[in-house]
Amino acid sequence: MRGTGADLGACLRGRDLTAAPATLNLVESRTPAARAEVAALLREVSPAALGGEAPAHVVGVTGPPGAGKSTLLGELVRTWRADGRTVAALAVDPSSRRSGGALLADRARIPYDPDDAGVFIRSTAAGGRLGGLAPATRSAAQALAAAFDIVVVETVGVGQSETEIAEVADTVAVVVQPGSGDVLQFLKSGIMEIPDVLVVTKADLGQVAVSARRDLHAALRSLGARDTAVVAVSSLAPPQGIDGLLDAIDAHREASDVGARRLRARRLHALADFTAEHGARGLRALGGRRAAERWLEEQDAGLDVPALERALVEHAGVA
Ligand SMILES: Nc1nc2c(ncn2[C@@H]2O[C@H](COP(=O)(O)OP(=O)(O)OP(=O)(O)O)[C@@H](O)[C@H]2O)c(=O)[nH]1
Ligand SMILES: [Mg+2]
């Protein structure tokens, strides 16, 4: 029956992109029955079922409000499509609230061609959490990575929020708008982890963008991260720097250990689901977050997310 988790997973494994909307509906529903279906879905798209890691490049795009993330994503989507790559874009919306299943506000605003069957775009409410991921986004990204060539996730935030997106993405691009010093300060003070790629938007503004890029370069050099790409782009017509950004994103993935990153993503996904279900009490039963992460690192690398979550429940004794 089409619509069950196992069936959707099988469709995605066959790279059937039309399964994307139903997949998002499933991972966003919070009923106990849906939880079991999501577990079945995740098993169907696990490395064991796929015979390896999911083929997509999972790209995170994050940065302060208004930095130009969605406009940039519109350009990235267009360029990926022109290159023949299929794209799923998941925007995590910190402001919208769900009401009867309908989004009241939608800050995704990613421009795209609605007649193009190779693009899927969905905005998910963060459920009152500022920055970071919506709970459904980890499952959505993992499932859609089996079917699409690119899965791109947009989150809003600065400072620590990029650590959560680094848990789901193979490559994280942090977007900075010229003239705003936050990211520079957070980088220098070590509050923020070094991103895989730094993007200065609104390059059409001229000198201020050039200075922003130079300052970020200097900060990265002083942190010993001289290999981190800093790319300046303009998303307004005529777009500039988009191809260079795509090259930097592709180069990062080429140079990185995707298998190790995905393994960590699955473990932290299981921990996030466990915490959503069992709360602070559950985490305490695991000896705290750090201890839980260390324990997960010792588990069999072949376990999928539902199996890891079951193992956590058993380990905590909270079932
Ligand atoms: N000059 C200039 N303005 C831009 C550029 N890209 C985006 N903008 C403008 O910046 C504003 C914010 O753009 P968005 O793409 O919505 O920014 P965002 O980071 O997705 O914003 P949130 O999702 O609300 O955090 C809009 O008014 C855009 O038109 C650019 O390359 N140059
Ligand atoms: Mg946006």
Beta-strand relationship, 102-103 and 98-99 = antiparallel
Atom in ligand 1 nearest the alpha carbon of residue 93: 23
Phi and psi angles of residue 235, each rounded to the nearest 5 degrees, phi first: -100, -5
Tokens found for residue 144: 């859609």
pLDDT at site 62: 92
**Residue (of 77, 108, 23, 60) closest to 239 by Cα position:** 77
**Residue (of 132, 120, 124, 130) closest to 56 by Cα position:** 120
Q: Which ligand is nearest to the CA of 199?
A: 1
Distance 193 CA to ligand 1 centre (A): 24
3-state SS, one letter per residue, for the chain: CECEHHHHHHHHHCCCHHHHHHHHHHHHCCCHHHHHHHHHHHHHCCHHHHCCCCCCEEEEEEECCCCCHHHHHHHHHHHHHHCCCCEEEEEEECCCCEECCEECCCCCCCCCCCCCCCEEEEEEECCCCCCCCCHHHHHHHHHHCCCCCEEEEEEECCCCHHHHHHHHCCEEEEEECCCCCHHHHHHHHCCCCCCCEEEECCHHHCHHHHHHHHHHHHHHHHCCCCCCEEEECECCCCCECHHHHHHHHHHHHHHCCHHHHHHHHHHHHHHHHHHHHHHHHHHHHCCCHHHHHHHHHCCCCCCCHHHHHHHHHHHHCCC
Angle ∠(35,41,47) on CA atoms, nearest 5: 130
Distance 184 CA to ligand 2 centre (A): 21
Phi and psi angles of residue 133, each rounded to the nearest 5 degrees, phi first: -100, 155
Atom in ligand 1 nearest the alpha carbon of residue 65: 25
This prediction has a pTM of: 0.93
Distance 297 CA to ligand 1 centre (A): 39
Burial per residue of 261-291, b for 16 or more beta-carbon CB atoms within 10 angstroms, e otherwise: bbbebbbbbbbbbbbeebeeebbebbeeeee
Q: Which ligand is nearest to the CA of 94?
A: 1
Q: Whose CA is nearest to atom 30 of ligand 1?
A: 202
8 Å CB contact between 174 and 63: yes
pLDDT at site 161: 65
Q: Whose CA is nearest to atom 28 of ligand 1?
A: 68
Ligand 1 pocket: which residues have CB below 6 Å? 65-71, 107, 109, 156, 201-202, 204-205, 234-236
- Mutate which of 62, 71, 174 for ligand 1? The one with the most ligand atoms within 8 Å of its CB, which is 71
Tokens found for residue 14: 């066959």
Q: Is the dihedral of CA 16, 143, 107, 67 positive or negative?
A: negative
User: What is the number of other CB atoms lying within 10 angstroms of the CB of residue 32?
Assistant: 6
**Residue (of 151, 148, 155, 136) closest to 69 by Cα position:** 155
pLDDT at site 98: 46
pLDDT at site 297: 97
Tens digits of pLDDT across the chain (319 residues)? 457 999 999 999 999 999 999 999 999 998 889 999 999 999 999 999 999 999 999 999 999 888 999 999 999 999 999 999 999 999 988 765 444 333 444 556 788 888 999 999 999 887 655 557 887 999 999 999 999 999 999 998 876 667 789 899 999 999 999 988 888 888 888 888 889 999 999 999 999 999 999 999 999 999 998 889 999 999 999 999 999 999 999 999 999 999 999 999 999 999 999 998 999 999 999 999 999 999 999 999 999 999 999 999 999 998 6
Distance 68 CA to ligand 2 centre (A): 7
8 Å CB contact between 68 and 175: yes
pLDDT at site 96: 52
